[in-house]
Chains A and B, each alone.
Chain A
């Protein structure tokens, strides 16, 4: 007994010493002060599980320590000590699917270059405040259009609400929708085909550009080799050498296109019309105005006037010597494919640089979305997913995250896609082994259910999901689905200090949020605290 007591004391003293050292170091630093929250039940969402009598240190905007034994911790000078005995602490909640704060006015276009950030209502501060006072600290906001590839979603971290742009993270994903009806192509078949086409066109576009770049590289290489040979020969001609130093050869644009006005012959001004015509025909390169130099193509490459003259001349001479051999034909510049901003975004998705979220509800639509994900090897997620439990096997096999919205039949909005809805869907999918189950607040413009995200997760518990899975669904698993789990979603040393203190269990009906920290800074405190 006595021995255990001594052991416990030793551990405690060690803890205090270690933590105090941290504090001492932190006191000299700038930025938010050091905060220690102690005594609460801490659901970490990480390996440490749930800690009773927890102790969390927030420092420099991050979680610097997580442990137990908070109540015994002595006060430390210069540190804000928060006694949260009897309360609960969770990571800041992450609403992985919402349309909170979108400007409710007017129709919206669909297209890969559309960005939800542009649709944010700049006066929507109050709805974000409501979400934050309910413990939500990050949201993935999707663009609102209905059908096809509709645009990119943004992840907003609710730090400074006076400047919403400043709260956006780098994480984005492409959003595609199908089966939502009204404003898409007339038939279901047409809609499915259009969505497939969007990715197929992207793939073809990517291929044409890859091919072009490959050819261009080859072209450049040949051009360069040719020049080296020629320049060596030209070393014998001192008068020309003086005019153009080899080191000053014109630089080329990133895609290797020759730049700068074409050199004119010395007798240019005294040429007769017929001589001029002959010269023009002789030197004509398609797509260029011989009198004005380069006018088409890239604007990003520097222009080096006159400098190319010897190389060009030599090249021509060289070609002449070879008696118009085929090499000259091979050296025609490969044709540049047309640029398409929308397809550029799709290509990023095809390269898996950009995750793709498919909103689909009916089992058939979900199956089709999964088919696209596998066919084009996308980093895919299924969002909405009200009927996913009816396509359980496919969903398990695909291994993609499933993001649910509001778990009770929606009103107001077109309900046809939620007709088969069952609040047991999250539990049903968990039961068959779907690993990443996420619960967001779903599609509702302007206001969304973000302010009751925890209660939406509680509904899943009432329909068979474990409490732990439900909490994961609104924290760490949500962070994974949004691509921000490196820094957010759980309470772990080194992660950003987005923390919520609850009066009771976060899923209980009468629990309220006492305090919210974002980046170690308190951004909300319940009145009377």
Chain B
């Protein structure tokens, strides 16, 4: 028994040491070889000063106040934690309510299971903030929840994200109404009219109906995209399309919506007619956010997706924005996450090289100034150890 207690004590100490490197103190400074600024530009000789989980200051060769613990990461590059605007981490298979096509007041926050192993996988992929979303099987799926993937549970829930709607084919089936895209749009039309009529309704849906906020609208085909563009104009609602992989072929519809779009998952096997869409949209002035749809696909596809886009001709800066600031804006938390700048949350990833270079290893991940993930030493040949 005593032995057991001793072991427990040991474990507690080890765990505390693991998390505590940064968390124990209010202020912490990190020196790094470089960091990526809010514009995605590389700034050498980076110094990052963290105070109470926020970035107190960041810049090149800043002087570090005395008495502040300094972590030396001069061999590494700091990048902002990645933001994924559409996941169901820890909630796979629990985001659908089969009986009803409309779940106006469902709240994805109820799905948040902070200890689920999916979050650890997201951390390993450099993803620090995600939008938990109801599934695409509902015309109106409910409100999304914006959460962090690690750190103290108290600081992990950032709040409600946009509404999630769906005009995907899977939203319509013969066992409940509406059964078609046309029926779905008709139903939305009457719901919007009702919400506009009832000024006292301050639900997320009503706010969207009155044009006060944007909603994520999942699509599965070009017909849905074209219909949505007309519908949004008619109703004066803001729609951020999701998964409109053929967006490049319906550029006019997307530009008419006047909102950012969410595209992905992009995999190595995706044909160019899909993967070229983000670069084309960016050129047309439409901001693009990428998503991994984790855990249906590995969370790593977010960062890899950005590299796929660079291979398709997107600039390094635009590619970085598509996995940081643009999704943060869509989630409504751009004032807190998505960039390394004064006053933002200290959510960042320590890379062995350029953040959007797949050859770079993700060494550490920090959330709210706390170290939440440390990579193991990479496998190396025994000879290398001797050398």
B359 contacts A by Cβ under 8 Å: yes
Contacts A424-B378, A431-B379 given; does A409 touch B268 at CB 8 Å: no
- Interface-centre pick from B269, B301, B311, B358 (highest chain A CB count, 10 A): B269
Indicate which residue in B265, B271, B272, B357 contacts A508 across the interface (CB closer than 8 Å).
B357
- Are B265 and A441 closer than 8 Å at their CB atoms? no
- Are B297 and A409 closer than 8 Å at their CB atoms? yes
Q: How far is the CA of A409 from the CA of B124 in the complex (A)?
A: 13
- Are A467 and B359 closer than 8 Å at their CB atoms? yes
Q: How far is the CA of A458 from the CA of B271 in the complex (A)?
A: 20
Q: How far is the CA of A456 from the CA of B359 in the complex (A)?
A: 10
- Are A463 and B357 closer than 8 Å at their CB atoms? no
- Are B378 and A427 closer than 8 Å at their CB atoms? yes
Binds B, one of A57-65, A308-316, A443-451, A478-486: A443-451
Chain A's interface size range is 35 or more
B143 contacts A by Cβ under 8 Å: no
- Are B311 and A512 closer than 8 Å at their CB atoms? yes
A408 contacts B by Cβ under 8 Å: yes
Residues 422-447 (chain A) with a chain B CB within 8 angstroms: 423-424, 427-428, 430-431, 433, 441, 444, 447
A462 contacts B by Cβ under 8 Å: yes
- Are B380 and A449 closer than 8 Å at their CB atoms? no
B111 contacts A by Cβ under 8 Å: no
| Min CB–CB distance B25 → chain A (angstroms) | 31
- Are A452 and B297 closer than 8 Å at their CB atoms? no
- Are A430 and B356 closer than 8 Å at their CB atoms? no
Binds A, one of B173-181, B206-214, B302-310: B302-310
B361 contacts A by Cβ under 8 Å: yes
Residues 171-218 (chain B) with a chain A CB within 8 angstroms: none
Q: How far is the CA of A461 from the CA of B361 in the complex (A)?
A: 8
- Are B358 and A447 closer than 8 Å at their CB atoms? no
Indicate which residue in B298, B358, B381, B382 contacts A509 across the interface (CB closer than 8 Å).
B358
User: A127 — which chain B residues lie within 8 A by C-beta?
Assistant: 271
Q: How far is the CA of A130 from the CA of B272 in the complex (A)?
A: 8
B72 contacts A by Cβ under 8 Å: no
- Are A455 and B267 closer than 8 Å at their CB atoms? no
A406 contacts B by Cβ under 8 Å: yes
| Min CB–CB distance A426 → chain B (angstroms) | 9
- Are A449 and B356 closer than 8 Å at their CB atoms? no
User: B156 — which chain A residues lie within 8 A by C-beta?
Assistant: none
| Min CB–CB distance A160 → chain B (angstroms) | 22
- Are B307 and A464 closer than 8 Å at their CB atoms? no
Contacts A408-B304, A449-B267 given; does A458 touch B358 at CB 8 Å: yes
Q: How far is the CA of A455 from the CA of B381 in the complex (A)?
A: 23
B360 contacts A by Cβ under 8 Å: yes
- Are A464 and B379 closer than 8 Å at their CB atoms? yes
B337-357 vs A, Cβ < 8 Å mask (1 yes, 0 no): 000000000000000001011
B221 contacts A by Cβ under 8 Å: no
Indicate which residue in B307, B354, B362, B379 contacts A430 across the interface (CB closer than 8 Å).
B379
B296 contacts A by Cβ under 8 Å: yes
Q: How far is the CA of A458 from the CA of B380 in the complex (A)?
A: 17
Q: How far is the CA of A40 from the CA of B310 in the complex (A)?
A: 23
Indicate which residue in A134, A455, A461, A508 contacts B304 across the interface (CB closer than 8 Å).
A455
A507 contacts B by Cβ under 8 Å: yes
| Min CB–CB distance B253 → chain A (angstroms) | 25
B336 contacts A by Cβ under 8 Å: no
Indicate which residue in B270, B298, B379 contacts A447 across the interface (CB closer than 8 Å).
B270
- Are B307 and A411 closer than 8 Å at their CB atoms? no
Q: How far is the CA of A229 from the CA of B86 in the complex (A)?
A: 91
Q: How far is the CA of A508 from the CA of B356 in the complex (A)?
A: 9
- Are B357 and A509 closer than 8 Å at their CB atoms? yes
Complex: chain A residue closest to B298, CB-CB: A409
Q: How far is the CA of A187 from the CA of B356 in the complex (A)?
A: 43
Complex: chain B residue closest to A409, CB-CB: B298
B300 contacts A by Cβ under 8 Å: yes
Q: How far is the CA of A464 from the CA of B293 in the complex (A)?
A: 26
Interface residues on chain B, number (Cβ under 8 Å): 33
- Are A510 and B316 closer than 8 Å at their CB atoms? yes
Contacts A452-B308, A507-B359 given; does A428 touch B267 at CB 8 Å: no
- Are B379 and A424 closer than 8 Å at their CB atoms? yes
User: A198 — which chain B residues lie within 8 A by C-beta?
Assistant: none
User: B293 — which chain A residues lie within 8 A by C-beta?
Assistant: 411
- Are A509 and B378 closer than 8 Å at their CB atoms? no
Q: How far is the CA of A266 from the CA of B376 in the complex (A)?
A: 94
B220-232 vs A, Cβ < 8 Å mask (1 yes, 0 no): 0000000000000
Complex: chain B residue closest to A413, CB-CB: B269
Contacts A409-B297, A431-B381, A433-B381 given; does A455 touch B358 at CB 8 Å: yes
| Min CB–CB distance A412 → chain B (angstroms) | 8
| Min CB–CB distance B95 → chain A (angstroms) | 17
Q: How far is the CA of A452 from the CA of B267 in the complex (A)?
A: 9
User: A464 — which chain B residues lie within 8 A by C-beta?
Assistant: 361, 378-380
User: A510 — which chain B residues lie within 8 A by C-beta?
Assistant: 310-311, 316
Contacts A409-B300, A458-B357, A462-B361 given; does A431 touch B380 at CB 8 Å: yes
A459 contacts B by Cβ under 8 Å: yes
| Min CB–CB distance A389 → chain B (angstroms) | 8
- Are A462 and B269 closer than 8 Å at their CB atoms? no
| Min CB–CB distance B135 → chain A (angstroms) | 16
Complex: chain A residue closest to B352, CB-CB: A462
- Are B360 and A411 closer than 8 Å at their CB atoms? no
Indicate which residue in A430, A441, A455, A462 contacts B311 across the interface (CB closer than 8 Å).
A455
Q: How far is the CA of A469 from the CA of B230 in the complex (A)?
A: 53
- Are A463 and B304 closer than 8 Å at their CB atoms? no
- Are B359 and A447 closer than 8 Å at their CB atoms? no
Residues 100-138 (chain A) with a chain B CB within 8 angstroms: 127, 130, 134
Indicate which residue in B268, B310, B361 contacts A449 across the interface (CB closer than 8 Å).
B268
User: B297 — which chain A residues lie within 8 A by C-beta?
Assistant: 409, 411
Complex: chain B residue closest to A508, CB-CB: B357
B33-64 vs A, Cβ < 8 Å mask (1 yes, 0 no): 00000000000000000000000000000000
| Min CB–CB distance B168 → chain A (angstroms) | 16
User: A428 — which chain B residues lie within 8 A by C-beta?
Assistant: 379
Indicate which residue in A409, A411, A412, A462 contacts B358 across the interface (CB closer than 8 Å).
A462
User: A130 — which chain B residues lie within 8 A by C-beta?
Assistant: 271-272
Q: How far is the CA of A134 from the CA of B269 in the complex (A)?
A: 13
- Are B359 and A458 closer than 8 Å at their CB atoms? yes
User: A458 — which chain B residues lie within 8 A by C-beta?
Assistant: 307, 357-359
User: B319 — which chain A residues lie within 8 A by C-beta?
Assistant: 509
Complex: chain A residue closest to B265, CB-CB: A411
Complex: chain A residue closest to B359, CB-CB: A461
- Are B270 and A408 closer than 8 Å at their CB atoms? no
Complex: chain A residue closest to B299, CB-CB: A409
User: B379 — which chain A residues lie within 8 A by C-beta?
Assistant: 424, 427-428, 430-431, 464
B359-376 vs A, Cβ < 8 Å mask (1 yes, 0 no): 111100000000000000
- Are B358 and A461 closer than 8 Å at their CB atoms? yes
Complex: chain A residue closest to B315, CB-CB: A510
- Are B268 and A406 closer than 8 Å at their CB atoms? yes
User: A467 — which chain B residues lie within 8 A by C-beta?
Assistant: 359
User: B381 — which chain A residues lie within 8 A by C-beta?
Assistant: 430-431, 433
Contacts A408-B304, A411-B297, A427-B378 given; does A452 touch B268 at CB 8 Å: yes
* Among all A-B residue pairs, the 4 with the closest Cβ atoms: A464-B378, A449-B268, A409-B298, A411-B297
13 A-B Cβ contacts within 8 A? Answer: A130-B271, A406-B269, A424-B378, A433-B381, A447-B269, A456-B268, A459-B358, A461-B358, A462-B362, A464-B361, A464-B378, A464-B380, A512-B311
Known: A427-B379, A464-B361, A510-B311. 19 other contacts (CB 8 A): A406-B267, A406-B268, A408-B298, A409-B298, A411-B267, A411-B301, A412-B267, A427-B378, A428-B379, A441-B268, A447-B269, A451-B268, A455-B268, A455-B311, A455-B358, A461-B358, A463-B361, A509-B354, A509-B358
